[in-house]
Structure 1
């Protein structure tokens, strides 16, 4: 099969097409002929040497795929209601930038009605991440207010739509007026240009000084102190990336007085059982919203797999709104 390899750690042009042996599905797995592969920030970190591959995972980058099941564990497939020939999208621990990819049966979801396979490839990584962190770890409820740092990212456009569909008020930050407008068009109640305004002060104004209930943070670093300041009583800060650095100083007294929670997680190293449970929740509670059109995939651009370097360069530029997808 063809696959995109990381020939050495470095800039986007270290990504090259190569011939690889086809993987084989084992117990509890299916082999998927990949039609499209999602591109995500962890792929960039892996390419630059800052995201080690988990034990047992493929060294080929790529954490989400969509395509056709061509074989697999018959018993596991039957138990999950899957069959050879089904079109699915799947979260994988690696190996997604390839013509063939093995996926755990429990991490496969049907391509939602009305979506193309390419659109479906943009779903797993962000929907698994947002559901796990915003709704399970962050416990966002209908009627509460969510602040999303980086609303125009793949994670951001998913979180905006999902939170709104489930009854929350949504504030976002983004790095330009154009990106802010795009976030509002997707359903955000307010968008703050973090380059021209202090998001903490704006949040206080927009919430009449009460603060927000949940913050989804991909920055960390110096943002944490200001995020603590703009959380409401019993507020929850959920950190899912550290683009601004791993160290932070904040007012611990405010955490005590307002009964705040600071938490975080990474998805890739979590257990099969954990990810299977998320998939089941998504299929029950979110996939119907996608099929109805209440939530739509937002794809900024698609690239042929041979142009994976161009896809990574776009992601690193920060110019995109939504997801980037490779096609095979």
Structure 2
């Protein structure tokens, strides 16, 4: 089968089209013939060698297509071996494309439970873009963050898959959403999705500017921090507010003043990806609410995965970048 393979770690050009063996049959697993796959920042980290993926390797976590055995239209849930607990994944958990061949290929093999019925009303590109950011954001907002209708939410960032999905899900549940970005056109695009407004997070006073957009300037009930700006995120909170952390692109370490934290009655909550139960919750949410489909920035042919990665790393995209497998 055709696939995109990396034989070394490095910059986007290490991603090259190649012929590789089709996945073998094994008990409890199914093969999905993929029509599209979506990029995630996680794929960049895999390409760079952050997860020590075996070489040669086919990356990719997200995909949409049909089960070969049943011809059922499915999306791929990339959360493998989560385990039986809801609080956190088990020790065997991993993301598809880390150590098992991923979705930058014509075929992918996944545990049967991870081939999930494709939601109604989504194009193939939109369906491929849904699983990783969808289940990650649903868990962050609702399973972990406990977001409720009428609450205020601050989303750090405005243009990535998590940010755009967070705006869509949160506004559908009746929350008031503010975003941050260094580019006004991205804030305007987030407003088109349902965000109330946004602030420039490159400004020195952006925390104060964000708080000023909350009722009475009291701060946010929930902050979604996918970049690692903890100190500023906590300062954005209203008393008793929650900060959900799910990324570290901007910083690998954080320092917090302790006394203001506990006097503020704040919560700092870590999360990543999501379980089968989170995915089921997301699909029920999509059935029960009017939610905008995943935002697609651009599509590339599978063979141009390296170019797609260059666009992802340049930070120019608004929404998801998708590979088509025609």
Q: Does 1:326 align with 2:312?
A: no
Query: Which secondary structure does the structure 2 equivalent of 1:156 belong to?
Result: helix
Deviation at 1:58, TM superposition (A): 9.7
Residue of structure 2 in register with 1:79 after alignment: none
Q: Is the CA contact 2:207–2:235 (under 8 Å) kept in the aligned structure 1?
A: yes
Q: Does 1:256 align with 2:256?
A: no
1:152 to 156, 159, 163: 159
Deviation at 1:288, TM superposition (A): 4.6
Deviation at 1:107, TM superposition (A): 2.7
1:64 to 62, 83, 89: 62
Residue of structure 1 in register with 2:7 after alignment: 7
Query: Which secondary structure does the structure 2 equivalent of 1:45 belong to?
Result: helix
> Do the aligned partners of residues 6 and 198 (structure 1) sit closer, same or farther apart at CA in structure 2, a change above 3 Å counting?
farther
2:314 to 296, 317, 320: 317
Q: Is the CA contact 1:88–1:110 (under 8 Å) kept in the aligned structure 2?
A: yes
Residue of structure 2 in register with 1:143 after alignment: 150
TM-score by length of 2: 0.88
Residue of structure 2 in register with 1:240 after alignment: 246
1:87 to 73, 92, 115: 73
Query: Which secondary structure does the structure 2 equivalent of 1:297 belong to?
Result: coil
Q: Does 1:172 align with 2:176?
A: no
| Partner Cα distance (1:149, 1:165) in 2 | 19
Task: List alignment gaps of at least 5 residues for structure 1.
Answer: 72-83, 268-273
| Partner Cα distance (1:47, 1:132) in 2 | 26
> Do the aligned partners of residues 29 and 216 (structure 1) sit closer, same or farther apart at CA in structure 2, a change above 3 Å counting?
same
Deviation at 1:113, TM superposition (A): 2.2
Q: Does 1:216 align with 2:224?
A: yes
> Do the aligned partners of residues 174 and 4 (structure 1) sit closer, same or farther apart at CA in structure 2, a change above 3 Å counting?
same
> Do the aligned partners of residues 187 and 305 (structure 1) sit closer, same or farther apart at CA in structure 2, a change above 3 Å counting?
same
| Partner Cα distance (1:138, 1:302) in 2 | 32
Q: Does 1:121 align with 2:128?
A: yes
TM-score by length of 1: 0.88
2:213 to 201, 206, 209: 206
| Partner Cα distance (2:25, 2:203) in 1 | 51
> Do the aligned partners of residues 67 and 288 (structure 1) sit closer, same or farther apart at CA in structure 2, a change above 3 Å counting?
farther
Task: List alignment gaps of at least 5 residues for structure 2.
Answer: 79-95
Query: Which secondary structure does the structure 1 equivalent of 2:212 belong to?
Result: helix
1:305 to 296, 302, 320: 302
Q: Does 1:106 align with 2:113?
A: yes
> Do the aligned partners of residues 62 and 240 (structure 1) sit closer, same or farther apart at CA in structure 2, a change above 3 Å counting?
same
Deviation at 1:159, TM superposition (A): 0.4
Deviation at 1:287, TM superposition (A): 4.1
| Partner Cα distance (1:137, 1:19) in 2 | 42
Q: Is the CA contact 1:111–1:117 (under 8 Å) kept in the aligned structure 2?
A: no
Task: Kindly report structure 1 stretches of 4+ aligned residues shifted beyond 4 Å.
Answer: none
Q: Residue by residue, what CA displacement relative to the aligned partner does 1:260-306 show, whole Å, maximum 9, x if unpaired?
A: 11121233xxxxxx6211121122222454xx5x3222100000010
| Partner Cα distance (1:191, 1:25) in 2 | 49
Deviation at 1:88, TM superposition (A): 0.9
* Cα-Cα RMSD: 1.9
Query: Which secondary structure does the structure 2 equivalent of 1:206 belong to?
Result: coil
Q: Is the CA contact 2:6–2:56 (under 8 Å) kept in the aligned structure 1?
A: no
Q: May I ask how many residue pairs the two structures share in their alignment? A: 303
| Partner Cα distance (1:266, 1:191) in 2 | 25
Deviation at 1:87, TM superposition (A): 0.9
Deviation at 1:171, TM superposition (A): 0.8
Query: Which secondary structure does the structure 1 equivalent of 2:103 belong to?
Result: coil
Q: Is the CA contact 1:176–1:195 (under 8 Å) kept in the aligned structure 2?
A: no
Q: Residue by residue, what CA displacement relative to the aligned partner does 1:101-134 show, whole Å, maximum 9, x if unpaired?
A: 1123323332222222222101001101001111
| Partner Cα distance (1:230, 1:303) in 2 | 38
